[in-house]
C-alpha cells in the first residue's frame, strides 16, 4: 500500500507472536514499528489488511488437503 500511495516507510519493523492452544494458535498478535509518523502507518493499515493474503487466509480458513504420493 505504501508503494502504491508513494509513501516511504522508514525503519519498518514487524513482529508476529502467537499463543499456542493445544495443537493450534489461539491468538496471533502483530506489532508494527516505524520511524515514519504513526498516523502515516495507521492510515495505510485498513487497505493493507484488505488485500493481505495472510490476513485473509487466517480470517477465513482455507480448505486443507494432504496427499501422500
What string of pLDDT tens digits covers the 69 residues of the chain?
A: 898 899 999 999 999 999 999 999 999 999 999 999 999 999 999 999 999 998 899 888 899 999 999
Torsions phi, psi for 52 (to 5 deg): -75, 125
Between the alpha carbon of residue 68 and those of residues 11, 62, 65, the distances in Å are 43, 19, 10
Q: Which residue blocks in the chain are alpha helix, DSSP H?
A: 2-5, 38-51, 53-59
The whole-angstrom separation of Cα 37 and Cα 7 is: 11
Q: Is the pTM above the cut of 0.85?
A: no
Amino acid at each position: 500500500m505504501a508503494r502504491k500511495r508513494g509513501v516511504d516507510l522508514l525503519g519498518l519493523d514487524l513482529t508476529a507472536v502467537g499463543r499456542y492452544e493445544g495443537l493450534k494458535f489461539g491468538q496471533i498478535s502483530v506489532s508494527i514499528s516505524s520511524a515514519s509518523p504513526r498516523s502515516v502507518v495507521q492510515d495505510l493499515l485498513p487497505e493493507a489488511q484488505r488485500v493481505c493474503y495472510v490476513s485473509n487466509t487466517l480470517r477465513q480458513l482455507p480448505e486443507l488437503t494432504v496427499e501422500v504420493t
